[in-house]
A and B are shown apart, each in its own frame.
Chain A
Amino acid sequence: MTYEAVIGLEVHVQVKTRSKMFSRVAAGYGHPENTLTDPVVLALPGTLPVMNKEALDKVIKAGLLLGCEIAPECKWDRKNYFYPDSPKNYQISQYDQPLCRGGFVEIELPGPARNVMGEHKRISLTRIHLEEDVGKLNHAEAVSLVDFNRAGTPLMEIVSEPVIRSADEAFAYLTALKTIMVYGGISDCDMEKGQLRCDANISIRPAGATALGTKVELKNLNSFSFVRDGIALEVSRQVAVVQAGGTVVQETRDYDGQTGESKSLRTKEMAHDYRYFPDPDLMPVQVGEEWKSAVRAGCPELPFDKQRRFQKEYGVPYTITSVLVPDRELSDFFEEAARLCGRPQAAGNWIANDLLRELGAATLGLAQSKVRPAHVAGLVRLVEEGAILSNAAKEVFVDMFRTGDPPGAVVARIGLGAQTDLGELERWCREAVAANPKSAADFKAGKESAINAFKGPVMRAAKGRADPKRVDETLRRLLAQ
Chain B
Amino acid sequence: MPKPDDLRLDHVANLARLALTAEEKERFAAQLGDVLAYVQQLNEVDVSGIEPTAHAFPVVNVWAEDVPEPGLSVEDALGNAPEKRDNMFVVPKVVE
Contact = CB atoms under 8 A, between A and B. Distances in A.
B14 A283 contact: no
Given A53-B63, A144-B92, A283-B62, A34 B54 contact: no
Contacts of B96: 83, 265, 267
A32 B68 CA distance: 17
B6 interface: no
Interface stretch (A38-46, A181-189, A315-323, A361-369): A38-46
B69 interface: yes
Interface residues of A, number: 54
Nearest to B89: A146
A13 interface: no
Given A82-B16, A270-B15, A275-B15, A25 B71 contact: yes
Nearest to B87: A33
A19 B16 contact: no
Given A42-B77, A147-B88, A270-B15, A83 B94 contact: yes
A52 B88 contact: no
B20 interface: no
B3 interface: no
A273 interface: yes
B45 interface: no
A66 B86 CA distance: 42
Interface in B1-50: 11, 14-17
A137 B67 CA distance: 27
Contact of B67 (A18, A265, A284, A285): A18
Interface string B51-93: 0001101011111111111111010011000010111111111
Interface string A35-68: 1111101100000001111111000000000000
Nearest to B69: A24
Given A75-B54, A283-B59, A283-B61, A24 B67 contact: yes
Interface string A1-44: 00000000000000001110000111100001111111101100
Contacts, number: 136
A139 B54 contact: no
Contacts of A270: 11, 14-15
Given A275-B15, A278-B54, A55 B66 contact: yes
Interface residues of B, number: 38
Contacts of B86: 33, 145
Contacts of B57: 283
A25 to B, nearest CB: 3
Nearest to A97: B54
Contacts of B83: 143
Contacts of A285: 60-61
A268 to B, nearest CB: 9
Counting chain B CB atoms within 10 Å of each CB, the highest count among A27, A35, A286 belongs to A35
A258 interface: no
A277 to B, nearest CB: 9
A146 B88 contact: yes
A145 B55 contact: no
A52 B61 contact: no
B68 A142 contact: no
A315 B85 CA distance: 61
A147 B88 CA distance: 6
Given A50-B64, A51-B63, A275-B15, A19 B69 contact: yes
Nearest to B56: A280
Interface in A276-297: 278-280, 282-286
A38 B65 contact: no
A37 B71 contact: yes
Contact of B68 (A19, A34, A137): A19
Contacts of B14: 270
B63 A50 contact: yes
Nearest to B70: A25
A73 interface: yes
A456 interface: no
A25 B68 contact: yes
Contacts of A26: 68, 71
A113 B80 CA distance: 60
B75 to A, nearest CB: 10
A93 B87 CA distance: 28
Contacts of B59: 283
14 contacts: A19-B66, A24-B69, A25-B68, A25-B70, A26-B71, A35-B74, A42-B72, A52-B63, A83-B94, A139-B93, A140-B85, A145-B86, A146-B88, A146-B90
Top 7 A-B residue pairs of the complex, sorted by shortest distance between their CB atoms: A278-B54, A25-B71, A54-B66, A145-B88, A26-B68, A51-B63, A38-B71
Given A39-B72, A50-B62, A144-B92, 16 more contacts: A24-B67, A25-B69, A32-B74, A33-B87, A35-B77, A37-B71, A37-B72, A50-B63, A137-B91, A139-B93, A139-B95, A145-B89, A265-B96, A273-B11, A283-B59, A284-B60
